Amino acid sequence: MASFGFGLVTASVLAIAAIGFTLQFGVTDVLNLAYGAVMIAAAFIAYVINQLGVSVWIGLVGAVVACSAGSVLLNAGIYAPFQRRGTSPITMVIVSLGMTLIIEFGVQAIAGGTSVSYTMSQGPTVTAGGLILSTVQLVVIGLSVLVMIGTHVLLRYTRLGKAMRATAANKTLARNCGIRTGRVITITWALTGALCGLAGVVFAMDAGSFDATSTDLFLVLILAAVFLGGPGQAYGAMLGAVVIGLATEISAAYITPDYKYVIAFVALLVMLGVRPTGLLGASQ
């Protein structure tokens, strides 16, 4: 049962990250592998603010704002110019891999190679229905639920959300219908950057201690969740996050923690090989 609790927390962190990743890819058409690097940058921004003697929750807000702005800049400065030039998707992935190295090891160069932790209280533990969770874990789960609801409301009921879905479905057509796709894409980078920042900080809280390379493996989980649900599918990412999050933690409890990522890996490869459009994606 404890593993179910862990799984719930992992799934929550994963859902925030995967929703951001999948929206980013769906709307902007950039398979941004630097997402994990931006997450860890967020974790360290919150850490720096935390070290100044401020609550880590203030740090979280700072990291979210910084990553939102940083993602917009990353697109405006790097990805958008490459895309305007007609760079192929595969070259875009290579560019994003280059950016991964720059950001991740840039963080490591500044922060050093050692693991750090936030100064924070886990709060009183809460027991509910056989689950034992700390207040922080409950907050993380709550944040994740809020993000999911927010995503649903955004995509279903707002003009911006509809514009995002239209842009994701067919950018040229959306532009011809009067949607300012350039602006929609910029806003998407800001939103998904914010989600990425949030995911980075809650990931660091959940992990306890972290260093600059901590999100390398977490990126695998994100990719597994995203591809399980179907790349570009926000609801698919939610489903994928829950499945992958629970599956990894429960398998860690019952098999061995060393191999908990193997399930995610197998899920990802099976999806790529059998149904690359994902469980919720359109069939080919």
Partner 1 sequence: MNSYYLINLLIYAAVDAMACLGLNQQFGVSGVTNFGFIIFQAAGGYAAAILALPNQSANGGFQSYIGGWNLPFPLPWIGAAVVGGLIALPFTFLVGRRLRGDFAAVGLLVAAVLLNLLATNYRPLLDGDAGLSLIPGPLGGQFSLQSSRYQWAFAAGAIVVCALIYLFVRRITESPYGRSLRAMRDNDVVADSLGKNLLSQRTAMLVTGGAIAGLSGGILVSYISTWSPAAWGYAETVVLFAAVIIGGAGNHLGAILGAVLVPVGFEEVTRYIPTSNNLPPNLIPSLEWVAIGLLIVVFLWVRPQGILPERKRVIKAAGLPPLGPASSGPASFSPASSGLGPAGAMPEGLAPARPMLTSLGTASAVPAGRSAGSATAGSQPAGSGPAEPASLRTPDGLPPHSPQAAARPGPANPGRWPADREIVLAVVGVSREFGGVRAVADVSFSVRRGTMTGLIGPNGAGKSTLLAMLAGTLPVTSGQIFYQGHDVTRLPAYRRARLGLVRTFQLASEFKRLTVMENLLSAVPGNRGDSFRGALAGRRYWRGDEAAAVARAQAMLVRFGLEADANSYAGDLSGGQRRLVEIMRALMTEPRVLLLDEPMAGVHPNLARRIGDELAALCAGGLTVLMVEHELAIMDEFCDPVVAMAEGAVLAEGTMAELRSRSEVVEAYLVG
Which residues are at the interface with partner 1 (CB under 8 A)?
Answer: 31, 33, 78, 81-82, 87, 89-95, 97-102, 104-106, 108-109, 112-113, 212, 216-217, 220, 223-224, 227, 231, 258-259, 261-262, 265, 268-269, 272-273, 276, 282, 284
Parallel, antiparallel, or unpaired for β 116-117 and 209-210?
A: antiparallel
* Min separation Cβ 70 and partner 1, Å: 16
Contact between residue 63 and residue 42 where contact means Cβ atoms under 8 Å apart:
yes
Q: Which residues have CB under 8 Å from 64's CB, separation 6+?
A: 42, 194, 197, 198, 201
- Smaller CB separation from partner 1, 140 or 221: 221
- Smaller CB separation from partner 1, 15 or 33: 33
* Min separation Cβ 142 and partner 1, Å: 30
* Min separation Cβ 104 and partner 1, Å: 8
- Smaller CB separation from partner 1, 131 or 207: 207
- Smaller CB separation from partner 1, 146 or 259: 259
Q: Which residues have CB under 8 Å from 155's CB, separation 6+?
A: 161, 162, 164, 165, 234
CA 13 – CA 244 distance, rounded (Å): 11
SS3 call for 213: coil
Contact between residue 233 and residue 104 where contact means Cβ atoms under 8 Å apart:
no
* Min separation Cβ 237 and partner 1, Å: 15
R_g over Cα of the chain: 18
* Min separation Cβ 283 and partner 1, Å: 9
